[in-house]
């Protein structure tokens, strides 16, 4: 049935207000306007950031909202002026745009496009209207892509065409979690062969950092988590040892400094907690260590820290979506996946039907899952 130009009725998971579970609703999805694309979402992952949205700790969100930003799908129809994709193309929606025109996009060393949600909220399409309604109410978009809907509309700056042979239920992880962690090691830290690394937080993103450190040839990869159930998988993907901060009396930074004879070359914070951010900085080697912050902290967080940690030569960096320029890089990462250069499939612990999405969040929060998709 040709649906182009028509309103599509489908299921979506709506967050009506902060602190409430998602509710599966029938929504109406309007056709794409100029420079917009409507996509049938085939698979979506659940990332820690979606949980921040449900709990109200992600900045600039308007409720009700359809969250989700780790999806893959097929173009259903395109609006006027869209040239990069056509109906039937396999695509990955980009939670970080690459507009191609702003000072970040023009800088070869930057990837945080100025059209990002952190600069200007993406709760409505660029023309400041929504394509979603439910029970007569306007529903907001999330990061312009809202992948927790069977159909969704996005601007053409936030979509990348991928290999037609790519398995969408697997490559959806490349939309955020895997690319974020892997890129933080490869692009942001630029981990060197023979180096020592410490990864705080072994969820889907942290494990992807482990994979990146291993690929870069690090010789010592220390996984740190307060949930020891995460250790088996971490070792499977490349951690050489794993430790639980709660097993020690000393602060974890002292433990790591002793373990490595002065501190690690690279540390990564993949929890989203200000205390682990400072512990990760203090764990890296004086004079040469680099700490990369990846975790999203609670809204309005501030860090008191000893500036001597920096003065003595450590580097503190942040990384958004692994430093990748998304539109250029996500299709290349999909090709890398197809060529078996890395294997994020091992991160998928559960596959659920869409209507069980709340169960996916429960598994994530109970520490029982790494990546859930449906
Ligand atoms: P997750 O919840 O699956 O993993 C977090 C892990 O941290 C869990 O295993 C948990 O047990 C562990 N943890 C909690 N407290 C800890 C502590 N004090 N010390 C050590 N470990 C601790 O989440 P995820 O999906 O892997 O995402 C991780 C973080 O990365 C989130 O904050 C998410 O919002 C953020 N994120 C950032 C980007 C980016 O572009 N920078 C992209 C995706 C996700
Ligand atoms: Zn994410
Ligand atoms: Zn840009």
Bridge partners of 161, per DSSP, are 91
Helix (H, G, I), strand (E, B) or coil at 81: coil
Nearest atom within ligand 1 for CA of residue 51: 34
208 and 295 both lie in a single domain: yes
Nearest CA owner, ligand 1 atom 34? 49
Q: Is the CB of 202 under 6 A from ligand 1?
A: yes
- pTM value surpassing 0.85: yes
CB-CB contact of 13 with 149 (8 Å): yes
153 and 237 both lie in a single domain: no
Residue 350, domain member (yes or no): no
241 and 297 both lie in a single domain: yes
170 and 199 both lie in a single domain: no
Residue 197, domain member (yes or no): yes
- Centroid of ligand 2 to alpha carbon of 218 (angstroms): 25
Q: Is the CB of 372 under 6 A from ligand 1?
A: no
Q: Is the CB of 230 under 6 A from ligand 1?
A: yes
Residue 38, domain member (yes or no): no
Alpha-carbon gap, residue 280 to 283, rounded angstroms: 5
Question: For residue 150, what are its two tokens?
Answer: 């069977």
Nearest CA owner, ligand 1 atom 3? 203
Give the other-Cβ count within 10 Å of 242's Cβ.
20
- Starting at the earlier edge strand, list the strands of the sheet with 8-14: 8-14, 23-29, 132-134, 137-139
Q: Is the CB of 284 under 6 A from ligand 1?
A: no
Mutate to test the pocket of ligand 1, among 143, 205, 275, 370 (most ligand atoms within 8 A of CB): 205
The DSSP call for residue 363 is H
Mutate to test the pocket of ligand 1, among 45, 48, 297 (most ligand atoms within 8 A of CB): 48
201 and 310 both lie in a single domain: yes
Residue 150's domain spans which residues?
A: 8-19+74-177+323-343
286 and 198 both lie in a single domain: yes
Q: Which long-range contacts (CB under 8 A, 24 or more apart) does 304-307 make?
A: 305/278, 305/281
| Residue appearing with tokens 């308007």 | 62
- Which ligand is closest in space to the CA of residue 328? 3
Residue 342's contacts (CB-CB under 8 Å, 6 or more residues apart) are 178, 182, 211, 215, 336
| Pairing of β 36-46 and β 371-373 | antiparallel
Q: Is the CB of 200 under 6 A from ligand 1?
A: yes
Q: What is the pLDDT along the chain (374 residues), one digit of tens a residue?
A: 789 999 999 999 999 999 999 999 999 999 999 999 999 999 999 988 999 999 998 999 999 999 999 999 999 999 999 999 999 999 999 999 999 999 999 999 999 999 999 899 999 999 999 999 999 999 999 999 999 999 999 999 999 999 999 999 999 999 999 999 999 999 999 999 999 999 999 999 999 999 999 999 999 999 999 999 999 999 999 999 999 999 999 999 999 999 999 999 999 999 999 999 999 999 999 999 999 999 999 888 999 999 999 999 999 999 999 999 999 999 999 999 999 999 999 999 889 999 999 999 888 887 766 555 55
End-to-end CA distance of the chain: 24
What is the total count of domains within the chain?
2
pLDDT of residue 372: 56
């Amino acid at each position: 049935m040709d649906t182009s130009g028509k309103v599509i009725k489908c299921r979506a998971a709506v967050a009506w207000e902060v602190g409430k579970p998602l509710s599966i609703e029938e929504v109406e999805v309007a056709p794409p306007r100029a420079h917009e694309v409507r996509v049938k979402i085939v698979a979506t992952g659940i990332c820690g950031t979606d949980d921040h949205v449900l709990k109200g700790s992600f900045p600039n969100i308007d409720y009700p909202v359809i969250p989700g930003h780790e999806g893959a799908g097929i173009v259903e129809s395109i609006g006027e002026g869209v040239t990069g994709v056509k109906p039937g193309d396999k695509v990955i929606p980009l939670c970080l745009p690459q507009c191609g025109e702003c000072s970040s996009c023009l800088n070869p060393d930057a990837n945080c496009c100025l059209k990002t949600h952190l600069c200007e909220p993406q709760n409505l399409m660029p023309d400041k209207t929504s394509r979603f309604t439910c029970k007569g109410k306007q529903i907001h978009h999330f990061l312009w892509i809202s992948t927790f809907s069977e159909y969704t509309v996005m601007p053409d700056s936030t979509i990348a065409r991928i290999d037609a042979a790519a398995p969408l239920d697997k490559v959806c992880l490349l939309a955020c979690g895997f690319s974020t962690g892997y890129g933080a090691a490869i692009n942001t830290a630029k981990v060197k062969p023979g180096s020592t690394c410490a990864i705080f937080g072994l969820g889907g993103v942290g494990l992807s950092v482990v994979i990146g450190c291993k690929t870069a040839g690090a010789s010592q990869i220390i996984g740190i988590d307060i949930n020891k159930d995460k250790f088996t998988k971490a070792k499977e993907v490349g951690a050489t040892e794993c430790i639980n901060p709660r097993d020690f009396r000393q602060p974890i930074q002292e433990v790591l400094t002793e373990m490595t004879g002065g501190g690690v070359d690279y540390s990564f914070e993949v929890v989203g907690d200000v205390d682990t951010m400072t512990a990760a900085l203090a764990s890296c080697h004086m004079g040469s260590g680099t700490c990369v912050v990846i975790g999203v902290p609670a809204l309005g967080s501030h860090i008191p820290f000893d500036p001597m940690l920096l003065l003595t030569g450590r580097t503190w960096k942040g990384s958004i979506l692994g430093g990748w320029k998304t539109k250029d890089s996500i299709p290349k990462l999909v090709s890398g996946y197809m060529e078996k250069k890395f294997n994020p499939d091992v991160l998928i612990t559960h596959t659920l039907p869409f209507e069980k999405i709340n169960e996916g969040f429960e598994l994530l929060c109970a520490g029982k899952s790494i990546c859930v998709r449906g």
